[in-house]
């Protein structure tokens, strides 16, 4: 597995990480814990050293899963987790309120350290920008945790350019985690140029469009009742049908390259910048190996140009989040 460094931070990780959310949260009922421990360890054996989780995934159980799975080789991997949500009130199924008060961050890190079975978190992201708390205060709180040896690196998730700059001025930001794929290219407008200017790495989540770019989802696909894609506008039957052109384009290129659609989509992302590290998630060993194969897929400049030109002609239908979640995206 090739290695990459996130921006100017010196934090070296595998070129492809593993997003672990779907093992416990959002894409249906939690997967079997023993199987997922085996999958995470298989990922490590296959060269992946960068693992992503968050307090809210489950909540809590995804961090516990990762802590147990990675314990035998903790010093050989980079663990990223996130803070910034307030626990749901009794009876509420999801955490939706934000809380990045410095005192809450200080409390939250202790729980994450315990669940992850570690004494230090390699990369600690603010999960969503909290409009009620100045980003300078958030960066200052994480800076304090770094000075205490509880955190190594500071990250932001779905932050806009203005807040990236403000936070970076207080505590250097190692990485931004936001959605980026052939299905969502908005970061190319302002985010990526800003990250390049400031020397910040980019960790795209949902690099396969929450599964859509793999070509395994179509308008007839039925999701589990607990799968959050049921409430994402982009996954309505009508929009899936409208967006099929992008999937067909990827499949055509994949055939030319003797690869899969997922591998082409990931290889395209990897080719954008040397400091971009996608974190596709999966619960299947076959898909894990398929995704890893993308790091060995060579795309020529002409291939990249062809993909970009073809994608630019396709109008993507539907928002990427329901309205309640869209409000949490910093602009």
Element (H, E) at 251: helix 244-257
Q: Looking at the DSSP assignment, which residues form a beta bridge with residue 317?
A: none
Distance in angstroms (rounded) separating the CA atoms of residues 218 and 79: 34
Percentages helix, strand, coil for the chain, rounded to the nearest 5? 45, 15, 40
Phi, psi (degrees; rounded to nearest 5) at 79: -105, 130
Residues contacting residue 79 through CB under 8 Å, at least 6 positions apart: 51, 53, 66, 70, 116, 118, 121, 122, 123
Bridge partners of residue 227, in order along the sequence? 27
Neighbours of 67 (CB within 10 A): 20
Q: What are phi and psi of 202, to 5 degrees?
A: -125, 125
Closest CA to 138 of 195, 177, 98, 197: 98
- How many Å apart are CA 135 and CA 164, to the nearest integer? 9
Which position among 27, 57, 124, 180 bears the catalytic label? 57
| 125 catalytic per annotation | no
3-state secondary structure of 152: strand
Please answer whether residues 285 and 211 qualify as being in contact, where contact means their C-beta atoms are separated by less than 8 angstroms.
no
Active site residues: 57
């Amino acid at each position: 597995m090739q290695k990459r460094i996130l921006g100017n931070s010196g934090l070296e990780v595998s070129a492809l990480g593993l997003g672990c959310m779907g093992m416990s949260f959002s894409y249906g009922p939690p997967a079997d814990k023993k199987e997922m421990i085996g999958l995470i360890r298989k990922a490590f054996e296959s060269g992946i050293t960068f693992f992503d989780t968050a307090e809210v995934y489950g909540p809590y159980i995804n961090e516990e899963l990762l802590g147990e799975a990675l314990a035998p080789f903790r010093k050989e991997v980079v663990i990223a987790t996130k803070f910034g949500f307030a626990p749901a009130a009794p009876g509420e199924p999801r955490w939706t309120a934000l809380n990045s008060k410095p005192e809450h961050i200080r409390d939250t890190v202790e729980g994450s350290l315990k669940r992850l079975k570690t004494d230090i978190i390699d990369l600690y992201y603010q999960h969503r920008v909290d409009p009620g708390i100045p980003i300078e205060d958030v960066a200052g709180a994480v800076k304090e945790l770094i000075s205490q040896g509880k955190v190594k690196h500071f990250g932001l998730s779905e932050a806009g350019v203005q807040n990236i700059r403000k936070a970076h001025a207080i505590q250097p930001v190692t990485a931004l985690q936001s959605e980026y794929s052939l299905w969502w290219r908005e970061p190319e407008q302002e985010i990526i140029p800003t990250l390049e200017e400031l020397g910040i790495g980019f960790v795209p989540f949902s690099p396969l469009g929450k599964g859509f770019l793999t070509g395994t989802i179509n308008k007839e696909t039925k999701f589990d009742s607990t799968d959050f894609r049921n409430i994402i506008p982009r996954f309505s039957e009508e929009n899936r049908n409208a967006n099929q052109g992008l999937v067909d384009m990827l499949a055509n290129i994949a055939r030319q390259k003797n690869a899969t659609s997922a591998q082409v989509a990931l290889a395209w992302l990897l080719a954008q910048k040397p400091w971009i590290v996608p974190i596709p998630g999966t619960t299947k060993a076959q898909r894990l190996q398929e995704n890893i194969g993308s790091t060995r897929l060579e795309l020529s400049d002409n291939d990249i140009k062809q993909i970009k030109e073809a994608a630019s002609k396709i109008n993507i239908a539907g928002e990427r989040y329901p309205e309640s979640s869209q409000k949490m995206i910093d602009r």
